[in-house]
């Protein structure tokens, strides 16, 4: 959350703004604005207006007069696909619902955006039910984790870097926990932040969260475990992974 700005009266006689000379205040670069939102996924379609999507109350990021929403499209009684839409001044700029088009039940539930080129989305996956050209694997091929892994059923996360001008995925990684038998286990993202070059993710991880080398941690106590991961901007590398009650 950005700190609130404090309004300082300008001293016209000495040409100062607050405690800074006016020329220095003008020369200071503007602070980058980052908007992040993680929450319960909601249903909408590419035909819905912004007012309809907004009323759903799902995750949304706002920079200026542009807003990007994430959720899911109900494909059938037993299938959902993730969806992302951008509106500029209330007009739809683009909408995509093709990130995953298999029988797997996928949703979108998180976004972080700096108003420029850094836009990241969080999707969910419960297994692998199609070809790589139909699911997230087409943009996670070079990611930290390239696939769901072994097994199926537990809900895991997928991080995707998107092109803000059209919503196309440009990079991605799966983010999963791992059981002692090697099968993938549940992980739910709870927070996102962007530092200007690195993506910071917080999550609830079930046994066991992974170290930066992708190996499962040694944990004590019951799941879930608080988990924090620092990714490179291209989602290929983890600089740091830490968890409470795990090492």
Distance CA 154, CA 145 (A): 16
pLDDT band, residue 5 (cuts 50/70/90):
very low
pLDDT of residue 222: 97
pLDDT of residue 97: 98
| Mean per-residue pLDDT, 192-208 | 97
Q: Which of 133, 130, 128 is nearest to 169 (CA)?
A: 133
**pLDDT tens-digit readout, 92-149:** 999 999 999 999 999 999 999 999 999 999 999 999 988 999 999 999 999 999 999 9
Beta carbons within 8 Å of 66's beta carbon, 6+ residues apart: 86, 87, 88, 89, 93, 115
Residue 8 has pLDDT above 80, yes or no: no
| Mean per-residue pLDDT, 86-94 | 99
Between 17 and 188, residue with greater pLDDT: 188
Three-class secondary structure assignment of the chain? CCCCCCCCCEEHHHCEECCEEHHHHHHCCCCCCCEEEECCCCECCCCCCHHHHHHCCCCEEEECCEEEEEEEEEEECCEEEEEEEEEECCEEEEEECCCCCCCCCCCEEEEEECCCCCEEEEEEECCCCCCCCCCCHHHHCCCCCCCCCECCCCCEEEEEEECCCCCCEEEEEEECEECCCCEEECEEEEEEEECCCEEEEEEEECCCCECCCCCECCECCCCCEEEEEEEECCCCCEEEEEECCEC
| Mean per-residue pLDDT, 60-68 | 96
Does a cis peptide bond (omega within 30 degrees of 0) precede residue 224? yes
Taking all residues of the chain, what is their mean pLDDT, rounded to a whole number?
90
Distance CA 4, CA 48 (A): 34
pLDDT of residue 216: 98
Q: Where are the domains of the chain?
A: 31-243
pLDDT of residue 32: 58
pLDDT band, residue 156 (cuts 50/70/90):
very high
**pLDDT tens-digit readout, 17-40:** 343 343 333 333 344 589 999 999
pLDDT of residue 129: 87
Beta carbons within 8 Å of 151's beta carbon, 6+ residues apart: 127, 179, 183, 184
Residues of the chain with pLDDT > 70: what percent? 87
Residue 1 has pLDDT above 60, yes or no: no
| Mean per-residue pLDDT, 152-161 | 98
Distance CA 100, CA 107 (A): 9
Q: Which of 27-41, 52-66, 144-158 has the lowest mean pLDDT?
A: 27-41
pLDDT of residue 71: 99
pLDDT of residue 25: 35
Strand pairing category for 91-96 and 108-113: unpaired
- Cross-strand bridge partners of residue 72: 43, 82
**pLDDT tens-digit readout, 209-226:** 999 999 999 999 999 999
């Amino acid at each position: 959350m950005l700190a609130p700005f404090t309004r300082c009266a300008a001293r016209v006689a000495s040409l100062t703004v607050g405690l800074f000379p006016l020329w220095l205040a003008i020369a200071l670069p503007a602070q980058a604005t980052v908007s992040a939102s993680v929450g319960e996924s909601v249903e909408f379609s590419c035909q819905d207006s912004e007012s309809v999507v907004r009323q759903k109350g799902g995750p949304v990021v706002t920079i200026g007069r542009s807003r990007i929403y994430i959720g899911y499209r109900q494909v059938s009684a037993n299938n959902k696909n993730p969806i992302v839409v951008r509106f500029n001044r209330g007009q739809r700029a683009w909408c995509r619902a093709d990130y995953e088009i298999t029988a797997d039940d996928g949703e979108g539930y998180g976004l972080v955006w700096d108003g420029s080129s850094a836009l990241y989305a969080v999707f969910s996956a419960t297994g692998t039910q199609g070809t790589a050209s139909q699911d997230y694997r087409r943009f996670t091929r070079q990611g930290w984790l390239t696939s769901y892994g072994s097994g199926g059923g537990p809900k895991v996360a997928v991080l995707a870097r998107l092109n803000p001008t059209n919503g196309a995925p440009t990079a991605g990684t799966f983010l999963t926990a791992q059981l002692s038998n090697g099968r993938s286990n549940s992980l739910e993202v709870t927070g996102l932040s962007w530092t200007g070059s690195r993506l910071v993710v917080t999550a609830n991880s079930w046994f066991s969260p992974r170290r930066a080398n992708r190996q499962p941690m040694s944990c004590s106590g019951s799941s879930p475990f608080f988990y924090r991961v620092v990714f490179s901007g291209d989602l290929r590398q983890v600089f740091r992974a830490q968890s409470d009650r795990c090492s």
